[in-house]
Amino acid sequence: MSLAGASPAPASGAVHVSLRGVSRIYPGRAAQPALHALGPIDLDLAPGEFFAVVGPSGCGKSTLLDVMAGLATVSAGSITFEGRSVNGAVPDGVGVVFQEDASFPWLTVTDNVAFGLREIGTPEATVKEKVSYALNFMGLGDFTQAYPAQLSGGMRQRVCIARTLVLEPRLILLDEPFGALDQQTRLLMGDELLRLWRETGATVLLITHALDEATMLADRVGVMSARPGRFLELVKTGWPRERDSTIVADSRFGQLTSRIWTLLRAESLRAMGHSRIAR
């Protein structure tokens, strides 16, 4: 038993997800002008790649995740996942972990994690097996019958991650999943995320506002501009696949983080309207 997807990344070259000229514009209403939230964005994710996105607040990071997940439509451009077009419908094989606590308070931890499996009609014996594996993997083995209200924020987020994992998604999108957690918990959750990324072989896109988190976890970090969000630069970290949070002690970690910060600082100030300080 493992969490690896049934079919590994398809052999359609080295591209798993592809975005071409993707933008999203919120149409204006009576008093409001139209809002150009995102793009145009071009991006290719390789199968099994860990990609992190950082950017100033309000730059459209979450919008990027929404259109990639099929939770929102694109205004221009196209997105393909495993060769098939994504526009406004969530494709099979995509899992999303949201920033907010999305665990269902009316279900126990076990029933929360089993929810998606039962929804697709998985036989109950298989559900049991997969859920118990995922619960142990996420360190929730002692809380199977607890309700989310009895758990800490970090553990509730782990429930949501486990609920996504058991469906064996080939693309996992995470929208600041650790944003509400304290620093130590975030580092430990980062370790767990790396572990499950290696084990599942899934392609991961992580949106975060923590630069150290992005540098520590990702193969590549996409630094976004202020709204409308575009990629200013894609920074390669060059970490080995076997890695954990101890790489924060690596000398290159500081260099990479400060590189990203330099790119981001000017943009963040611009986004906040402090153009004079930025100069």
* 26 touches another protein (CB under 8 A): no
Q: Identify which of residues 73 and 262 has a Cβ nearer to another protein in the complex.
A: 73
- The contact mask relative to another protein for 56-95 (x = CB under 8 A, - = no) is -------------x-x------------------x-x-xx
Q: Which residues contact 124 (CB under 8 A, 6 or more apart)?
A: none
**Binding string, 158-187, against another protein, x = CB under 8 A?**
---------x--------------------
User: What one-character DSSP code corresponds to residue 229?
Assistant: B
**Looking at beta carbons only, is 30 or 149 nearer to another protein?**
149
How many residues line the site for another protein (CB under 8 A)?
22
Report in angstroms how near the CB of residue 106 gets to another protein at its nearest.
Answer: 4
CA distance 78 to 19: 6
Q: Cβ(229)–Cβ(37) under 8 Å?
A: yes
Asked if 204 and 49 count as a contact pair (C-beta separation under 8 A), the reply is: yes
User: Which range binds another protein by CB under 8 A, 21-29, 114-122, 205-213, 251-259?
Assistant: 114-122
Binding flag, residue 104, another protein (CB under 8 A): yes
Which of 61, 10, 52 is closest to 194 using CA atoms? 52
User: Which segment (104-112, 204-212, 220-228, 237-245) binds another protein by CB under 8 A?
Assistant: 104-112
- Does residue 149 belong to the site contacting another protein (CB under 8 A)? yes
Q: Is the peptide bond before 91 cis (omega within 30 degrees of 0)?
A: no
Q: For residue 159, give the nearest of 140, 179, 133 by alpha carbon.
A: 140
CA separation, residue 21 to residues 14, 43, 184, 208, 222 (Å): 19, 9, 38, 23, 16
> Interface residues with another protein (CB under 8 A)?
69, 71, 90, 92, 94-96, 98, 100-102, 104-107, 115-116, 119, 147-149, 167
